[in-house]
Amino acid sequence: MEKNVCDLCGYVYDPAQGDPDGGIQPGTAFKDIPDTWVCPLCGAAKTSFSPV
């Protein structure tokens, strides 16, 4: 599974770690994250992320 980076702040979403604080379990691919999810650092929308 590929990582994705926030274009605004540089946060890297790693599917192996997920985002437990944001309700995303480890092992969740970026494409499977709900569209309502936002960057845990800057609050940017999921559409502000690019594949690494």
**Whole-angstrom distance, CA of residue 27 vs CA of residue 10:** 21
- Encode pLDDT of 18-47 as tens digits: 999 999 999 999 999 999 999 999 999 999
- Indicate the pairing of strand 49-51 with strand 4-6: antiparallel
**Whole-angstrom distance, CA of residue 11 vs CA of residue 1:** 17
Residue 7: pLDDT band by 50, 70, 90 thresholds? very high
Whole-prediction pTM value?
A: 0.94
According to the model, what pLDDT value does residue 16 have?
98
According to the model, what pLDDT value does residue 1 have?
85
DSSP symbols for the chain = ---EEETTT--EE-TTT-BGGGTB-TT--GGGS-TT-B-TTT--BGGGEEE-
Residue 28 identity: T
